[in-house]
A and B are shown apart, each in its own frame.
Chain A
Amino acid sequence: MTERIPASFRDPAGFMFRREGVLYRQINDRHTDSYGELLKSGLYDELVRHKLLIPHVEVEVSPAEPDVSSLVIRPDPVRFISYPFEWCPGQLRAAAEATLEIQRLAMERGMSLRDASAYNIQFHEGRPTLIDTLSFEPLPAGMPWFAYGQFCRHFLAPLALMKYVDVRLGKLLRTELDGIPLDLAASLLPWRTRLQWGLGVHLHAHASSQRRHARSDPGRTPAKGRQLSRQALVGLIESLLAAVKKQHWKPASSAWRDYYALRESYSSAAMEGKVELVTRVLRGLPAETVWDLGANTGQFSRLAAEVTGAHVVSIEMDASAVELSWRDCQDAEDARVLPLLNDLSNPTPAQGWAHEERESLLDRGPVDVVLALALIHHLAIGNNVPLPSLLRWLTSAGKTVVIEWVPKEDPMVQRLLSTREDVFADYDMNSFEDAAKEHFEIRSKEQVPGSLRSLYVLERHG
């Protein structure tokens, strides 16, 4: 059976399809010359060598639409597809720099990126990698970079908004699927950003130019005025790179304090006991894919990757924690952990055209093992999610769930309850176990050393 992947329906150059569980990309006849040039120019080899482009092989597989194509490639599979609004500022910046570096190398070999969508970049083996092999076209003399506007919307605008206004504005990318409109970004940014060369030019002045020409007849503007020398194009890319590099977001100082306090607490006897327990439990669970829900700065995600060898998606709602986790992964060159921003009380929905273009968080699962440490009270008490509903949700996330039960007497729960009325009569261990048994078999239950908490291993029925 052939299933067309709905995310790549726009591009006339080709599209992705799945057949018997394998992902392929059909290259339409109208694009074969550009694809040939990508290989012949040596650009493909160079980009793959720099780990900037997903490697692929040409395969003897019939195209999904043989009328328009006679060529199919099989790209290396990406472990987890993530979206720009799920990235911390550091991840978005890394993706932006990768895009510009790809464009720079392409221009050196007489080619150019046809688009600069942030969705074309995925974190593959820990690095931002272009997954759209069909993004390249030959660059005739004088041709401008058609993706310039898209690059500014997808990368520069959200990076500037997160740095100069509020990191939460990165979430605008969730509603603006083709990037944040530049006039909107310009109106939200503080006035002083006009004085910064990169933002002043590529966001503010760029937005004004878009406004000025919004109603002009494109046929009327002389084509000559749109031509760009190669030197000018190189200058443009370098200037964008300098602007992107300046959008260095720093996590709040309180986040740093928490981070160090947590690191310190890891050396305490209680934490050592918890680490030892989680390690032992994970050792008994074969896993290729893990989701660590409520991962904070990802200590247990890295532990899970180490113990099981699995690819771990480290899901956390706080941007500062994700940023610190991302930096740790980069420093350790840890390719097995992907830090990801997601609020589990409102996780990524299915979005875009026909709700099919971008998948919901759950659509990208289920995984072999779900890790839910110090999470249950945030959802059940912090967000009033009833325990049966929470456990039911977990069944669609993974087959095996390692979950920490945090009782009401725990200091962290007491802190949550200190500012509100305790309306959680059903929040107790018996109700938790009853709710769990509805969907899972309780495989083991152990006390977390030095605490009132318990660690459960749940196995989904069927």
Chain B
Amino acid sequence: MEYVIEMLHITKQFPGIIANDDITLRLQRGEIHALLGENGAGKSTLMSVLFGLYQPEKGVIKKDGNEVRIKDPNDANALGIGMVHQHFKLVHNFTVLQNIILGVETTKKGFLLMEEAREKVVSLSEKYGLSVDPDALVSDITVGMQQRVEILKMLYRDNEILIFDEPTAVLTPQEIEELMKIMKGLCAEGKSILFITHKLNEIKAVADRCTVLRKGKYVGTVEVAQTSKEEMSEMMVGRKVDFSIAKDPSSPGEKALQVSGLHAGGKLKGKKTLANINFDVCKGEIVCIAGIDGNGQSELVYALTGLAPIEQGKITLNGKDITKYSIRKRNMEGMSHIPEDRHKHGLILDYSLEENLVLKKYYTPEFQKNGFLRFDQMEEYADRLIQEYDIRSGQGRRTVARSMSGGNQQKAIVAREIDIDPEILIAVQPTRGLDVGAIEYIHKQLIEQRDQGKAVLLISLELDEVMNVSDRILVIYEGEIVAELDPKQTSIQELGLYMAGGKRQERRDA
């Protein structure tokens, strides 16, 4: 079998970290090759090397057997290497067509030849079954469609090696299925695909071979068809991973968080309206709000944490009415919040890890005296959390949060929020975009909090997580709680029906 791309013994260092240590990756023509690894294992770095964004210290790259030097993305493009980044690189107020030709416009005497470009885009779109409207504005189309635009961009440039960087992280289950079909279609046409992911199901579904990285080192390359999911995850994490979550039955105590008659979000444009939300979370139980994305989960969290005003209703914590409390006062009452968007809300990316770890506590006597920060205390505290929660970073507590890997950023937030010793822990999609090892870790933390008698409210889109972690499920649909389920007596199919709005319970308190 011939290799289109060979990356041989690649080594790339960053301050304090060897991101890639002697890694070899060989891509065959016409295959889907998965690149598997935990967050921070060096997948993105390796692909950035291939795409010319980083220069490796050691190692060579061969294209069709000839050694090449890729100094920048233009070189990569000239060699037929294209990449769909995890965060799309599209101009939002341009049309699909304008985005596709951006940078490689065909012109005549300085004027754009849009018709030629359109023909090519339409024919490509039909050939690969992408069905994208070339005249739609990018800001008007769904995330899944935007991804197809990115794919079209690569095809338009006649790229034959396509890199997909965690393409499914932003998609709905249906869109993921469509994407898989498209990827298979691309391979059938002779394209070669590098597929970066840490989702084993997806690798099983589409990939031919899989290369596994762990902590910057090469672990091995396997034939996907002959390898089980368990074997792959063991290669990735370096130990056996428990897919089922061991936990004792819950023993709910008294009510911690009580929400009654909550209405919110009605005046905001483009937001879901919450209508008459009623529920409780008791001490020592994990209640999960399940639902398809965009059914009012964010609005509910904003209302509970005080990030957005409510219109009507009452929120109490341990019997105390906190409806009118500010965010700071709610925090002081023992409300902890692991936010959905760790970059927007969870961290101040330009602050160091240490400064981020005290973000909810800097004003307490522990860390300030007469308005002056107590740096010695902060350092000690940060070092303790870093050790206890195994937060890995290049320069310890001094690391700028921005330069940390996603998994470790999330660990830092989890550490901060749990260490507050909360009365109620609100965890919103706490495992989004994380790898198996980190997910397992965070689930264990949530259950440990429960076992210590804390109330936990989990908001999740992942059905596996909903079924395995929670003690009680509330299904949210179109801004309303439509069902209350016991995970032990419910099937995923039934849960799915409620989530899709095909079924609803008459709740006792509704």
Do A and B truly interact? no
